[in-house]
């Protein structure tokens, strides 16, 4: 039986230290019928040259060089030329296990789902988690994304390409932060079920140049804009999803508080800081209701009383992680 082709789309921007390991991990897949689409989004470092050299290793590598237009435009460029029946996304500063592709293909084909998502990924330490796979209804998947049980990004997932084509789905190029969550929520409006895996096969690297790692107020406001757009898209909605959406929006208050403290910019952004502290204290019963873990509830209570001290503690942890990376 002929294996279906998988397109792997990798946006490339300021990842010169990581991109080679990323590509080599894709070339080492135990599933051979793949194409690796590397989209150089006008990266100012040597990433473009590195991927041009890597192309010589394997004819399955396809290179796109374009002027800097953002990660959403880069992924859209990859989707446009993708010839695979299945599409997966990998970030240029991450890498994957040799069974990454075959595992996701199995999740899709064994369940007849259009989307497969993984609840686990590696960071610095290996997760010792027993492998489970199952199917959930789409409402559960949406709730898990908002609650953080499934990571919001598009990596560590696989999609049937026809889902994008038939429903005219693409990344919103005006959104550069929260774009993955927006894309996922839109995709989920057109399916009834999702295949879920729990095998940790994706390695997320601590890259200090990543948009996810750098604090930027504009980026956080963009993330809130993404969240508000998602609310408009949500056709499949119930009270659990509404509560989870509200919780995710609430978490942005803590994210902004943490970022302002870490970047030592509280003074010049005092109004924004005070507003976030006010919102955090005003709605403290929301995380206490939504969180099941006692320690996480305790953290929220500590933020209620001591937001600056808690943010300072998280900043110290971030600094330590930066040194270890």
Q: Which residues pair with 266 in a beta bridge?
A: none
* Bridge-based pairing state of the strands 133-137 and 193-197: antiparallel
d(CA 151, CA 184): 11
User: In 10 A of CB 232, how many CB atoms?
Assistant: 7
pLDDT of residue 237: 76
- Do 273 and 266 meet the contact criterion of CB atoms below 8 Å apart? yes
Tens-digit pLDDT profile for the chain (325 aa)? 678 999 999 999 999 999 999 999 999 999 999 999 999 999 999 999 999 999 999 999 999 999 999 999 999 999 999 999 999 999 999 999 999 999 999 999 999 999 999 998 765 455 555 578 899 999 999 999 999 999 999 999 999 999 999 999 999 999 999 999 999 999 999 999 999 999 999 998 877 666 556 678 999 999 999 999 999 888 877 899 999 999 999 999 999 999 999 999 999 999 999 999 999 999 999 999 999 999 999 999 999 999 999 999 999 987 876 666 5
- Phi-psi bin for 86: left (phi > 0), alpha (psi -120 to 50), beta? beta
Identify the burial level of 235 via C-beta atoms within 10 angstroms of its C-beta, where 0-12 means exposed, 13-18 middle and 19 or more buried: exposed
CA dist 154 → 71, 252, 277, 278, 325 (Å): 12, 20, 30, 32, 23
- Domain range annotation of the chain: 6-203, 238-324
* 237 closest CA partner among 155, 118, 146: 146
Partners of residue 11 on adjacent β-strands: 39
pTM equals: 0.92
Dihedral angle over CA of 276, 281, 283, 284, nearest 10: 120
The whole-angstrom separation of Cα 291 and Cα 310 is 18
Question: 3-class SS at 163?
Answer: helix
CATH superfamily of domain region 6-203? Spore Coat Polysaccharide Biosynthesis Protein SpsA; Chain A (3.90.550.10)
């Amino acid at each position: 039986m002929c294996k279906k082709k998988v397109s792997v789309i990798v946006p490339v921007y300021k990842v010169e230290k990581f991109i080679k390991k990323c590509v080599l991990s894709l070339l080492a897949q135990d599933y051979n019928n793949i194409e690796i689409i590397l989209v150089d989004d006008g990266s100012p470092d040597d990433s473009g040259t590195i991927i041009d050299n890597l192309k010589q290793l394997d004819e399955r590598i396809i290179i796109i060089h374009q002027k800097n237009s953002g990660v959403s435009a880069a992924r859209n460029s990859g989707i446009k030329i993708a010839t695979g029946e299945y599409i997966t996304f990998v970030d240029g500063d991450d890498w994957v296990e040799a069974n990454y592709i075959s595992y996701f293909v199995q999740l899709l084909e064994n369940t007849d789902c259009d989307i497969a998502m993984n609840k686990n990924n590696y960071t610095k330490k290996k997760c010792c988690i027993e492998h489970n796979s199952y199917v959930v209804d789409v409402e559960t998947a949406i709730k898990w994304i908002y609650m953080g049980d499934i990571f919001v990004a598009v990596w560590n997932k696989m999609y049937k390409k026809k889902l994008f084509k038939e429903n005219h789905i693409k990344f919103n190029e005006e959104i550069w932060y929260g774009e993955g969550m927006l894309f996922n929520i839109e995709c989920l409006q057109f399916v009834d079920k999702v295949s879920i895996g729990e095998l940790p096969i994706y390695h997320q690297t601590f890259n200090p140049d990543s948009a996810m790692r750098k604090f930027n107020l504009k980026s956080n406001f963009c993330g809130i804009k993404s969240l508000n757009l998602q609310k408009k898209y949500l056709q499949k909605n119930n009270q659990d999803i509404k509560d989870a959406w509200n919780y995710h929006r609430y978490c942005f208050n803590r994210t902004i508080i943490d970022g302002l403290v870490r970047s030592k910019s509280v003074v010049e952004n005092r109004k924004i800081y005070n507003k976030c502290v006010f919102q955090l204290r005003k709605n403290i019963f929301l995380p206490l209701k939504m969180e099941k873990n006692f320690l996480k509830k305790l953290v929220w209570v500590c933020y209620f009383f001591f937001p600056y001290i808690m943010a300072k503690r998280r900043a110290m942890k971030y600094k330590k992680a930066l040194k270890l990376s």
